[in-house]
A and B are shown apart, each in its own frame.
Chain A
Amino acid sequence: MVLIDRYVRPKSLEEAYELLTSVKGARIIGGFTFMRLGTVNIPLLIDLQDLGLDFIREGEDFIEIGATVKLGDVERSEVIQKHFDGFLSKTVKYIWSVQLRNIATVGGTVFARFGFSDFITSLLVLNTKVKLYRNGEMLLEDFLESRVSRDILVSLKIEKEERKAKFRFMRNSFYDFSILNVAVSAKVENGRLGGFRIAIGARPGIAKLAKKAMEYLEKNGLSPETISKASDLSAEEMEFGTDIRGDAEYRKMICPVLVRRALNDILSESSGGNRS
């Protein structure tokens, strides 16, 4: 059960940050969907909904998504849908239920660094930066590995580029968390694929980039042979753990399968073939 002593809706980021850092145990509410499942006493809960961070806007080089945007709004956004062949909207559509996506926020998901998150895995393959009130901008992959905690996520900035991206997951049923999730992407430049990115999440730890596999593809290009090798490399370089949804050995075995399928999707689309 969650017991909350005090609830506030600050009117500025400055006020929110002051409250967060001056009250011991103060927490920021994202959507409350996951927080409410815990047993915790929160002396001060800070709700950011009055700060005007519920925007999705398209700049010249970036798409910017405010921290209080709901996952459902990411799914429905025309701006999000028109980039990366709708990759991010399609991924979000597979997260839990319509009702939950209309509550859960982008900031609540990313800042909490949820290991089970499909959204974070997908963002990792899109050259995403987080914009923090105090620590400024940093790459999402750096933020995920950092210890930044007493700060406020203002927005996500996703680089606009011609990039093909695919997402795959393994679940016991559709309406469940992923036992393992995988996202891959490749930049398209002058008809050639490069800038490969592979992210693996729900291991069950927080999603990470498979850097050795990415470097291998960068050097050797994308072909049926290199896909097979890169898929194996990605499983070798990751740590996997055991939880209620699956054990480490199982996750390690299905990892190369999901990576291979996702990379094959990119290869078949880029070559106009029907490989699956």
Chain B
Amino acid sequence: MKMGLKINGEFKEFDVDPSTTLLDLLREAGYMSVRRACDTGTCGVCTVLMDGKPVLSCAILALSADGHEITTVEGLKDDEDFQRLLDLFLSEGVDQCGYCNPGFLITAYAMKRELKNPTDEEIKMYLVGNLCRCSGYVGQMRALKKYLGVEE
């Protein structure tokens, strides 16, 4: 079936099987920051922004996203605020294997736009759907608190 998506500001047309998920479509189209892991809507590595809100691309049919606007990490590479978040992940030594990073980064970017001066508890609750198998949560919290401007 024919469908159209605005991905990172650019309108693209696709011809998809109705069973295709948004995750499948994005990876086949070359957006490799969008990762596949659990494929059950649990781990958060496939997170993208749909109309500005974080969603799980593995749990959305590609056809349901038809007409919506998708943003991936690739689409934020020139965004100054996003670059600051990347720098903080580097300077705070957040990276371990790095597989969960794109999902974390996208969710953190959305959190900054949704929550004002979040508490530690609110930050953790917002990120509960992003799992890090290296359990690098302490470094992530350190970077995120600086990014969100809620350092103690």
Which residues of chain A are near B19, meaning CB under 8 Å?
1-4
A5 touches B64 (CB 8 A): no
Given A2-B19, A7-B1, A32-B129 contact (CB < 8 Å):
no
Interface size (B, Cβ < 8 Å)? 28
Q: Which residue of A lies closest to B43 (CB)?
A: A97
Which residues of chain A are near B114, meaning CB under 8 Å?
76
Which residues of chain B are near A5, meaning CB under 8 Å?
18
As a 0/1 sequence over residues 39 to 78 of chain B, the CB contacts with chain A under 8 angstroms (1 = contact) are 0110010010010011110111101100000000000000
B18 touches A4 (CB 8 A): yes
B128 touches A174 (CB 8 A): yes
The contact size tier of chain A is 20 to 34
Given A37-B40, A97-B128, A100-B41, A31-B54 contact (CB < 8 Å):
no
Which residues of chain B are near A174, meaning CB under 8 Å?
128
Which residues of chain B are near A33, meaning CB under 8 Å?
41, 56, 59
User: A97 vs B58: C-alpha distance in the bound complex, in angstroms?
Assistant: 14
Which residues of chain B are near A100, meaning CB under 8 Å?
41, 56, 59, 129
Which residues of chain A are near B126, meaning CB under 8 Å?
98
Which residues of chain B are near A226, meaning CB under 8 Å?
none
Which residues of chain B are near A64, meaning CB under 8 Å?
none
As a 0/1 sequence over residues 62 to 97 of chain A, the CB contacts with chain B under 8 angstroms (1 = contact) are 000000000010001000000000000000010011
Chain A nearest CB, measured from B46 CB (Å)? 9
Partner of B56, one of A6, A7, A99: A99
What are 16 of the A-B contact pairs (CB < 8 Å)?
A1-B19, A6-B18, A29-B61, A31-B59, A32-B60, A36-B41, A37-B40, A72-B53, A76-B114, A97-B56, A99-B44, A99-B55, A102-B50, A102-B55, A103-B56, A175-B129
Binding site for A on B (CB under 8 A): 1, 18-19, 21, 40-41, 44, 47, 50, 53-56, 58-61, 63-64, 107, 110-111, 114, 125-126, 128-130
